[in-house]
Amino acid sequence: MDRFEEHVWLAPDPSDRFVALTALTAARFPHWPPYGGAFEEVIPHLTVGCGKNTDAMASAARDEIGSGLPMPGTAHGVTLLEEQADGTWAELTTFALGAR
């Protein structure tokens, strides 16, 4: 579990496939960089809490999911989200991952 300024998040391990997927997507759509180009390095993550009190969020996340970590899983698709004017996110489409 780690933190950004107002986010508590989990990292995939290994992360190399997510980094590669992000780089390929950014190369394919250069006019729409990840996070609007706000960050030089994109860090693959799963946000589990958002707000000003990251200490409390991290504690709550550890209580809720800490014993379940690491969580095994497989990514089967990528969902394209668009930030709305009110700060929420809307799903635009989903792309399947896997062998063709």
Query: Is the pLDDT at 99 greater than 80, yes or no?
Result: no
Domain edges within the chain: 2-74
**pTM surpassing 0.85?**
no
pLDDT at 100: 58
At 36, the pLDDT band (50, 70, 90 cuts) reads confident
Average pLDDT, integer, range 18-29: 89
HEC sequence for 2-46: EEECCEEEECCCCCHHHHHHHHHHHHHCCCCCHHHHCCCCCCCCE
For the stretch 76-86, pLDDT in tens is 888 888 889 99
